[in-house]
Structure 1
Amino acid sequence: MTEPPLFPDEQVATADERSVLATFLDYYRTEVVRKARGVSEQDARRRLVPSLTTIGGLVKHLTVVEESWFLRRMGARDDLPPRMPTEQEFTLSDDDTVESLIAAYEKQCALSREVASAHELDDNVPHHRLGRVSLRWIYVHMIEETARHAGHLDILREQIDGETG
């Protein structure tokens, strides 16, 4: 019997720490896009749980989270508008479409990779609650955040059209 090809996260089983962290985060970023792509505009806005959680809202929220941790914190960008309240991050405007949300997310992920590539894992920046956070911590936090929401997307997508995996 032939084994299936290795997933990206499996390909770095013996890689250095940075490669493992970056690969896991990129794997979940890809899953977010894969789960969001292909749903109708109506389904992207559909609330299937009591909270504001929707497929489109999750992608929009993850875009803001990427910007917040990589650009605002690690990139020390203070020229960005203030971060919106969390409930607004999950609220779609009339102009938001599945493809525009995905495009914004992919653009932000590319900017996040660029910022991260300019730093060492031990580089750290100020944080209002934690004192300081390292790039290593940001990677782990973003893996957790992105994986958690990829799981939410997986469940929503299964409820909408039966798509799994």
Structure 2
Amino acid sequence: MSPDPKRTRDELVSAGNERQVLEAFLDLYRDIIVGKVNGISDADARRRRVSSSTTLAGIVKHLTSVEREWFGSVLTGRPASEAGVDVTTDGWHVAPSDTIDNLVAEYQHACADSRQVASRFTLDDTVAMPRLGQVSLRWIYVHMIEETARHAGHADILREQTDGTTGFDA
């Protein structure tokens, strides 16, 4: 019996093991981020709609940096600068040359790299993290789900303010 195509990633692993559930939820929210900027113009992606400097483009760029930080730097032990982490603005600064297409491509590339790095570890594996001492891959997954879901909510509001588009995956 094939899976019901109407089910979302998280629903497809409702009886999955812990790793399958964590990976599915993170990938679900990664997809939602991409969906929230799908079809938006570069100008609208940069437009500030709230009093902070948060923009749709900034959210994508920030999450790219966060992926690189936790998977490409913390988990691997590589220096943040080598992993492509934006240590100056935490990824929030959108350069004039940034386009939403390029930002999404970079984000998807960072997510693919994160998946590849994570595949080399078990959920119980721990790595050094200066602020926290040690963190497990399990903790990184939960943190990244929280981080990505929180910003997906921000993106949902910004997209609705931009063109009225609402919904779980739009």
CA distance in 1, matches of 2:87, 2:131: 18
CA distance in 2, matches of 1:116, 1:4: 27
Aligned match for 1:118, one of 112, 117, 120? 120
**CA 1:163–1:8: 2 relative to 1, 3 Å:** same
SS at match of 1:133: strand
**CA 1:43–1:127: 2 relative to 1, 3 Å:** same
| One-letter amino acid of the structure 1 residue matched with residue 12 of structure 2 | Q
SS at match of 1:92: coil
Instruction: Encode CA deviations 1:118-158: one digit per residue, 9 max, x unaligned.
Output: 00001111111111000000000000000000010000000
Aligned match of 1:85: 88
Contact 2:65 2:91 in 1 (8 A): yes
| One-letter amino acid of the structure 2 residue matched with residue 29 of structure 1 | R
The Cα of 1:85 is off from its aligned counterpart by: 2.7
Aligned match of 1:39: 40
Aligned match of 1:54: 55
Segment drifting more, 92-101 vs 75-84: 75-84
The Cα of 1:84 is off from its aligned counterpart by: 2.0
Q: Show structure 1 runs of 4+ deviating over 6 A.
A: none
Aligned-pair identity in percent equals: 54
SS at match of 2:25: helix
| One-letter amino acid of the structure 2 residue matched with residue 112 of structure 1 | S
Q: Number of aligned pairs?
A: 162
Map 1:10-159 → 2, pairs under 5 A: 10-78=11-79, 80=82, 83-86=86-89, 89-159=91-161
Q: Which runs of 5+ in 1 are unaligned?
A: none
Q: Which runs of 5+ in 2 are unaligned?
A: none
**CA 1:82–1:152: 2 relative to 1, 3 Å:** closer
CA distance in 2, matches of 1:40, 1:63: 19
What TM-score do you get using the length of structure 1 for normalisation?
Answer: 0.94
What TM-score do you get using the length of structure 2 for normalisation?
Answer: 0.91
The Cα of 1:83 is off from its aligned counterpart by: 3.8
CA distance in 2, matches of 1:82, 1:157: 26
CA distance in 1, matches of 2:36, 2:124: 33
